[in-house]
Amino acid sequence: MHDRLERLKARFAELETEIQNPDLVRDPARYKDTMREHAYLASLMEEYANYLRIEDGIRDARSLAQETDDTDMREMAKEELRELEDALPASEERLKFLLIPPDPLEEKNIIMEIRGGTGGDEAALFAADLFRMYTRFAETKGWKYEVLSANETGLGGYKEITVSISGKYVYGSLRYESGVHRVQRVPATEGSGRIHTSAVTVAVLPEAEETEISIRQEDLRIDVMRAGGPGGQCVNTTDSAVRLTHIPTGLVVICQDEKSQIKNKAKAMRVLRTRLFEMEEEKKNAERAAERKSQVGSGDRSERIRTYNFPQNRLTDHRINLTLYKLDLVMQGDIAELVDALAMSAREAQLKAQAG
């Protein structure tokens, strides 16, 4: 570990010089990558300096305890030695965590797709509940969100809803929400009081920037049509809905929520660009592709990552065996504890993989 840290220390010194170069800001992409790497190494070097101070302190305290003839000084040195030896493993563990390089995707905004799976109207209602949960969490974080498309049901649920969420470290926070969410409760549509089980799928995609994915006009088929389904005034009376078909991949995106055809096309392009970006990332990283397939699945209730049990006010995340008895608060957007636990579990798994 020492050798690796010393190499990174030398790299940090290079970056310290590089960020002083006025020419760096003339290349936005290089500037962004350089500043990201510098910020990562700065926190790592801070902990490394702390680790080295502890090591130096241990050597000095041990030497003093062995060499001094003063009884009080020897006892003080031994006490300091014990404290420093206790502090060293904790600093080493922090270094191991920090040595896991951050995923550059974690800083990205996201496009989240929520779809009702098994359960009909009840699944659609729970999709709406999850949408509210995530957007309320976004509000507590100071993030912004925008509905890109929605297919509403007459009961106030969503067959599917696509929303963009932008802010600091959004993908890093919500990436582990991808998967099948199972709900157990008495539906509003159930008169006999019987508990139903339904499922909703959530997909969290890092949003692509225009410079990251180039879509050729000749690869695109654009169809305009009259919007369908529930809507406000004028939404069903003009050809404002837009369907984009990416011919090489067969991906289709439809947006119809806006009255303006131009706005619907812009939203559809954002979703299409992000889906294409995800496809490219999956090609680059086979492990990530397998992870996403296992998380999202088909919407069947058996492929669950989490269960929301309303009668018992209980939420269970099956991946990390975490159970919380505060489902009422979770549904109001209080998911920070859950998000943090999933992120920590993922880092611990990376740490084990790195050690192995």
pLDDT digits (tens, 9 = 90+) for 139-153: 999 999 999 999 998
Domain of 292: which CATH number? 3.30.70.1660
Q: How many CB atoms lie within 10 A of CB 140?
A: 12
Q: Are 135 and 105 in contact (CB under 8 A)?
A: no
Range(s) of the domain holding residue 234: 217-283
pLDDT at 323: 96
Whether 238 and 163 share a structural domain:
no
Report the length, in residues, of the chain: 356
CA atoms 57, 62, 63, 69: torsion sign: positive
> Same domain for 71 and 114?
no
∠ CA 228-234-238, nearest 5°, is 65
Question: What's the total number of domains in the chain?
Answer: 3
What is the distance between the alpha carbons of residues 107 and 87, in angstroms, rounded to a whole number?
32
Same structural domain, 204 and 147: yes
| Residues 201 and 300 occupy one common structural domain | yes
Report the C-alpha gap between 57 and 61 in whole angstroms.
Answer: 6
228 and 330 belong to one structural domain: no
Identify which has the larger pLDDT, 348 or 53. Answer: 53
Same domain? 183 vs 292: yes
CATH of the domain at 26: 1.20.58
Residue where one domain finishes, among candidates 66, 98, 130: 98
Separation CA 350–CA 346 (nearest Å):
6
User: Does residue 213 contact residue 187 with C-beta atoms inside 8 Å?
Assistant: no
Residue 126 has pLDDT above 80, yes or no: yes
- Report the CATH number that the domain containing residue 250 is assigned in CATH: 3.30.160.20
Residue ending a domain, among 283, 306, 336, is 283
Lowest-pLDDT range of 27-36, 124-133, 166-175 = 27-36
The pTM for the full model equals: 0.75
120, 188: one domain: yes
**Looking at the structure, do residues 52 and 139 belong to the same domain, yes or no?**
no
Q: Are strands 314-317 and 251-255 parallel, antiparallel or unpaired?
A: unpaired
* pLDDT tens digits along 290-344: 544 444 444 444 468 999 999 999 999 999 999 999 999 999 999 999 999 998 8
223-280 residue pLDDT tens: 888 766 544 444 445 678 899 999 999 999 988 888 888 889 999 999 999 989 888 8
Return the top range by mean pLDDT from 65-74, 94-103, 260-269, 329-338. Answer: 329-338
The reply to whether 183 and 278 lie within a common domain is: no
Domain end call among 251, 283, 315: 283
Dist CA 12 CA 39 (whole Å): 10
CA atoms of 212 and 197, how far apart (whole Å): 41
> Is 296 in contact with 195 (CB distance < 8 Å)?
no
Ranked by mean pLDDT, the top range of 67-71, 203-207, 238-242, 282-286 is 203-207
How many other C-beta atoms lie within 10 A of the C-beta of residue 72?
8
Distance CA 181, CA 165 (A): 20
Sign of the dihedral through C-alpha 274, 267, 173, 143: positive
Residue 189: pLDDT over 80: no
Cα–Cα distances in Å, from 104 out to 101, 171, 290, 354? 9, 10, 19, 18
CA quadruple 127, 112, 241, 128: dihedral, nearest 10: 20
pLDDT value for 302 = 43
Instruction: Check: CB of residue 238 under 8 Å from CB of residue 260.
Output: no
Calculate the dihedral angle through the C-alpha atoms of 179, 171, 285, 220, rounding to the nearest 10 degrees.
90
From residue 162, alpha-carbon distances to 24, 150, 210, 341 in Å are: 37, 6, 19, 25
Distance (Å, rounded) from C-alpha 106 to C-alpha 220?
A: 29
Strand partners, 138: none
As a whole number of angstroms, the distance between CA 338 and CA 346 comes to: 12
Give the pLDDT of residue 5: 92
What is the average pLDDT score of the chain? 87
Distance CA 194, CA 182 (A): 16
Q: How confident is the model at residue 355 (pLDDT cuts 50, 70, 90)?
A: low
Residue 142 shares a structural domain with residue 276: no
Read off the tokens for 286.
């086979």
Q: Which of 83-87, 185-189, 238-242, 301-305 has the lowest mean pLDDT?
A: 301-305
One-letter amino acid at 314 equals R
pLDDT above 70 coverage of the chain, percent:
90
Question: Which pLDDT score is estimated for 32?
Answer: 85
pLDDT at 57 over 50: yes
320 or 350: which leads in pLDDT? 320
In this model, does residue 89 exceed pLDDT 70?
yes
Same domain, 204 and 294: yes
Partners of 114 in beta bridges: 161, 202
Instruction: Specify whether 125 is located in the same domain as 263.
Output: no
List the end-to-end C-alpha distance of the chain, in Å, as a whole number: 14
